[in-house]
Amino acid sequence: MNIKRHGAALGLAAASALLLSACGSDNNAPAQSGSGAASGVNVDCGGKKQLTGEGSSAQTNAIQEFVAAYAAKCQGFDVAYNPTGSGNGIKQFTSKQVDFGGTDSPLKDDEVAKAAERCQSNPAWHLPLVFGPVAVAYNLPGVDGLVLNPETTAKIFNGQVKKWNDPAIKALNGSANLPDKDIVVFFRSDESGTTDNFQKYLQASAKSAWTQGGGKQFKGGVGEGKAKSQGVSDGVKATEGAITYVESSFAKSAKLGVAKIDSGAGPVELTDATAGKAIASAKIKGQGNDMVIDLDALYASKEAGAYPLVLVTYELVCSKGYDADTTKAVKAFLGTAAGPGQDNLTKVGYVPLPKEFRTKLQDAVKAIA
C-alpha cells in the first residue's frame, strides 16, 4: 500500500516536530492532561508520555492526523511512528521494540504465535483504523465516466482486452465514443501492498478472468512497470490511452479519469460515501475484538452503491500484556484515532470510518486490559 506516500515520511524525530505544531494549533485547543474533553469523545489521558509505533508507510499521513488529534486531546503526550513498511512493523512489534505495529496484511500463523508471546501469552488484535480507496485511473481524452466491471478490468490487466473500443468495454459504456486505440497498462514495478490488494480484488471478483494469482509483485504479464504510486500516476498522465491502479489521492492530484465500477448492481463512482458504504458492510472474520476484515467478501460484494476496491491498514496491539502506563496511553491514543482522528482523513486521501464501524473499534480499544 502506498496511500499518498509522497506527502510525508514520518520518522521518530519528525513525529515530535509534528506534535509541537499540533499542540500549537489555534483551531484545536488541547485539553488538560487527564480530561480528554475536546471533540466529544471521552478519552482517559495518562500513562506513558511517548508511545512508539512502526510499520506500514501507507498509513503515514493518517497517523499524522491521529497524532495531531491525540496531542489536542492529551496535552504533553505524543507518539513517534516510523514508517518502515509492514514487515518491519510486525517484526518490531513482536520483538517488543515498539508499542504497536502498522501492517496492511494480517499476521500469518507463525507471526500470531510470536505476537502472543510478546503480549505475555495474550492474543494480539488487529484494529483496522485506516482505509484508502484504490482508483482504476486512466487517460482517455473525450471519455468521461468510463465504466468497467471486474471481469473486463481483469482482462485489461492481463492483456486479453487490448483496445479501448473492445466489445467488452463498449457493452459497459453505451454510446460513449471509445477510440480504436491501444490500451497501455502501467503497473507497480516495486513490491507493493497496492498491487497485492488489487490482485486480491481481481481474484475475488473476477475469478474466471484473473488466473495469474496474487502477491506484491504484479502478475498480469503486460504493460510497463513504474516505481511507487507517483511513478504509475505520472506514466498514465503522460500517455494517452493508459490505465493503472493507484491510490485515489494520486489519481486526483494528477487529474486522471477514474473508472466507475459495476459489480453487478450498476456503476458506482469512487467517493467517500461509496467507499464508506463498502466499509460499513465489511465482514469481520477475526474473533471477538480481533477485527480482521474478510477481504474476499468485501472485494466480491455486489452491494448497490458500494465501491469495494479499498485497502485496509491495521494497528497491531496487545489485548493484554502491556504495563499499566502503556495500556493507558495506548487506549487513549487509539481511542482518539478511532474518534476525532478520523475527521480530517479525507484531505490526505483516506476514507473516514462510518459511525457504526468507529463504534466497533472504540469498543475494541476499551476492551484492551
Q: What are phi and psi of 180, to 5 degrees?
A: -80, 75
Q: Is 193 annotated as a binding residue?
A: yes
Rounded-to-integer distance, Cα 8 and Cα 301, Å? 33
Give residue 47's region: left, alpha or beta (phi > 0; psi -120 to 50): left
Q: What are phi and psi of 69, to 5 degrees?
A: -65, -40
Q: Is 58 annotated as a binding residue?
A: yes
Q: Is 104 annotated as a binding residue?
A: yes
Rounded-to-integer distance, Cα 280 and Cα 357, Å? 6
Nearest to 154 by CA among 208, 225, 229: 208
Nearest to 331 by CA among 303, 355, 361, 306: 361
Q: 3-state SS of the chain: helix, strand, coil percent to 5?
A: 40, 20, 45
Around Cβ 127, how many Cβ atoms within 10 Å?
25
Q: Return the ∠ at Cα 192 (arms to 235 and 310), rounded to 5°.
A: 90
Alpha helices in the chain (DSSP H): 12-23, 60-73, 86-94, 109-118, 150-157, 167-172, 193-205, 228-237, 248-253, 272-280, 295-299, 324-337, 355-366
- Work out the widest C-alpha separation in the chain, in whole angstroms: 66
Q: Is 263 annotated as a binding residue?
A: no
Q: Is 57 annotated as a binding residue?
A: yes
Q: Is 319 annotated as a binding residue?
A: no
Name the residue type at position 45.
Answer: C
Residues comprising the binding site for phosphate?
56-58, 86, 104, 192-194
In the annotated binding site, the residues are 56-58, 86, 104, 192-194
